[in-house]
Amino acid sequence: MPLEETLETLRTGWGAIAGSPEVVIEQIHAYEQAGVEELMLEWFDVDDIEGAEAFATDVLLRL
């Protein structure tokens, strides 16, 4: 399955926040506009330190 189709399935079928940093930020802002005050991060690949650091830099610092 192509990446974009996989991401769309995660977003619509599973309710996951997934995609590029810009898309993730947009999705988080949509939840914020709906009144959500807290989100829980589930990081499946606990050994992916570089990915977690990139998420912190590219997403969290921009919220």
Question: Rounded mean pLDDT of the chain?
Answer: 94
pLDDT above 90 for 52: yes
Buried b / exposed e along 36-49 (16+ C-beta atoms within 10 A): eeeeeeeeeeeeee
pLDDT (0 to 100) of residue 1: 87
pLDDT above 90 for 37: yes
Confidence (pTM): 0.83
Percent above pLDDT 90 for the chain? 90
The full set of domain ranges for the chain reads 3-62
- Cα radius of gyration rounded to whole Å, the chain: 12
